[in-house]
A and B are shown apart, each in its own frame.
Chain A
Amino acid sequence: MALLPLRDAIERHVRDGQSVALEGFTHLIPFAAGHEIIRQGRRDLHLVRMTPDLIYDQMIGMGCASRLTFSWGGNPGVGSLHRLRDAVEKHWPAPLAIVERTHAEMAVAYQAGAGGLPFGLMQRHVQTDLAALPEAVVKPIECPFTGETLSAVPAIKPDVTILHAQQVDAQGNVLIRGIVGAAKEAAMAARCLVVTVEERVERLRTESNALILPSWLVASVSVVPGGAYPSYAQGYYPRDNGFYLAWDEIARDRETFRRWMQQHVLDVRDHAQFLRALGVAA
């Protein structure tokens, strides 16, 4: 594990054309890392994430992605992701190929990837038109023991998984608390794991069966307080719902969106400056 400034971590580990999963199920969403990818102008990424949320809306609208694998693409509790919709409906700023799965399929796919399997298994009872799409990836498979038909869900193995977590200790072990989503599975499925954390502590005060990513699994850790803002980091800050509501207006119009991103992401040095400019941090 290398302790790196976020700028260096992204420069070193995220390349054009890679598949990149910024996970965190509505909690601990790695906004700071996403913004740094935008600042560094990465292109042609295959973005993977169960719930794209505002961070992928921003990355897609800024032209970072050519492909998206996801299972629910809305603004949680608010409505649409207008930049994602514009990319799918009107191909702006560029066409976006989508691979759509269900939440359960994404979870199984990460799990299979984490275990080094080509696919994961699910019961095959679900009747959905998703299975009939040309892009559909889930296939039927016969159980060799019972003969029943199951669903084979191809594994997801991102080139890079990026997570935001609460703490890293002096040895580089990373602790995630609260709602963990598929963070562990996405971490273990990736070729390279990049982490941002709220703070560095001497020792993690927790039980041994807590969600800890051992230091030797982690390519780099960057200390970025507020790195999940405007989503939340349990024990540190809540979700800024005002921001999620405001985003609906900002993202609705292409020019308003571009101006906002220029001012708040491209023209700022780092996440601390972003938080100060918004008046969230002193």
Chain B
Amino acid sequence: MKVETHKVARLHAIVWGIFSLGGMIAAFLLPVMIYMTAIAYPFSLWPFNGTKDPSFLITGHRLGALFIFVTIAGSLYHGIFRFQSALTEVGLLKYRRALEAIGYFIIFVGIIVLAYYLGTWYLNGTIS
């Protein structure tokens, strides 16, 4: 019984630890990413007022691809986890299991798809 309690506590710690890390990533990295992709590029502002465009973030070098992966994967985990938790606080507590299942499914598929695209581009030389 004590061992199971520890297992549950450890799993909770891991899940909430990743959630907190995702929160830091969303707070520190997501604003600059949105600025670059949704403001600077469409409106031709610095740093995309020259010849470069946001695809350079991915193809420019490995660090850019890593930045995209960490920012999007971390933000997706944090956003979905927090949103499904918020839904349970507005009357959907009885659907908590279903919400968790849907949430983790979206997180899992999203991160796998993202890793697949970036991995494929890395292996075929698109990412230099």
Question: Does B associate with A?
Answer: no
